[in-house]
A = this chain, B = another copy of it.
Amino acid sequence: MRRTRVNELFGIEHPIVQAGMIWVSGAKLAAAAAEAGALGLIGAGSMTPELLRAQIRKARTLTARPFGVNLPIFHRYAEEMVPIILEEGVRIVFTSAGSPKKYTPTFKAAGIVVAHVVSTPELAKKCEDAGVDAVVAEGFEAGGHNGRDELTTMVLVPQAVDAVKLPVIAAGGIGDGRAMAAAFALGAEGVQVGSRFVCAAESSAHAAFKAKVVEAGSTDTFLVLKPIVPVRLIKNSFCRRVLDIEAAGADKEKLSELLGRGRARLGMLDGDVEEGELEIGQVSGLIRDVAPAAEIVRRLVEECRAAIASLS
């Protein structure tokens, strides 16, 4: 497997990042990804500050390899989580959903490697200006929360590569080694993989949610709730109700009311796969099993090698 600046920056064997995801990526998944030679990320987005601290400590007992934390900047506990990340000696932080200016100086001053998730090349440039070390360019096909401009991975990645000197990590639609090779062809130096790791044996996703992702066909996700915040979900009963009231011209208020609170936890962690919000990418159509993280990484690397070999 080729080595890039992404390998060097994070000190990892394969230029693969296991995405930090709410309700899915705790210490167990992050450590398993790290042990497999990828970068594992603990997803702080669904945690309380004290749970985040406990998960960081737990991950350290499970692996001596590098892992990091994904911190959504809009998170209601973000402000409290920053000192915890510093106190616990985390070396790598991925920030998302907010300005890269907000915490980058603090993290950089502590010697932390910072990556930030972007949905446009313009935001990639802002990251560079803010002193970030790498950008994750995430396309429209990605699961969960999503940019408003709807740029796909195929068009976003090369434009981000052209916009900055920083290494670009491609995200959105990458579930196998063919897409990983494609990302490299577009100029990315690494990939961030989310949905495929939802179906890792070590992910905290409920077994019923994993089964739903394995069953999902190619057209079983959709980007909904655009007036509130765009999010890609599996089309279950809840999602179909959202689609129906959106088609009828529902406004922000009606959608917020329907969404209510705790829908993501209900679906992803508690396993109510009809009434919960199931955040997953379009690539779920290509996911056909639950497998250990090590096996997922092994397949990605092998398929990527094969795809590259087939090109020459």
Contacts and interface: CB of A to CB of B under 8 A. Distances in A.
Contacts of A121: 218, 285
B181 A183 contact: no
Interface string A259-270: 000000000000
A283 B152 CA distance: 10
A155 B140 contact: no
Given A218-B121, A249-B249, A311 B172 contact: no
A152 to B, nearest CB: 4
A172 B151 CA distance: 12
Interface string A221-235: 011000100000000
A178 interface: yes
A307 interface: yes
A310 to B, nearest CB: 8
Nearest to A227: B247
A55 to B, nearest CB: 31
A133 interface: no
A179 B2 CA distance: 19
Nearest to A282: B155
Given A159-B285, A308-B311, A179 B154 contact: yes
A210 to B, nearest CB: 19
Contact of A152 (B139, B159, B286): B139
Interface in A170-194: 172-174, 176, 178-179, 181-187
Number of copies: 2
Nearest to A174: B154
B219 A149 contact: yes
Given A152-B141, A185-B181, A311-B185, A122 B218 contact: yes
Interface residues on A, range: 35 or more
Nearest to A177: B185
Interface of A: 2, 120-122, 139-141, 149-156, 158-159, 162, 172-174, 176, 178-179, 181-187, 217-219, 222-223, 227, 247-251, 281-283, 285-286, 307-312
10 closest residue pairs by CB, A with B:
A249-B249, A154-B173, A182-B182, A181-B185, A149-B219, A182-B185, A152-B152, A141-B152, A155-B282, A155-B173
23 contacts: A140-B141, A140-B150, A150-B223, A151-B282, A152-B152, A152-B282, A153-B154, A154-B154, A154-B173, A155-B173, A155-B283, A155-B285, A156-B218, A158-B286, A181-B185, A182-B182, A182-B183, A182-B185, A182-B186, A184-B185, A185-B308, A185-B311, A186-B307
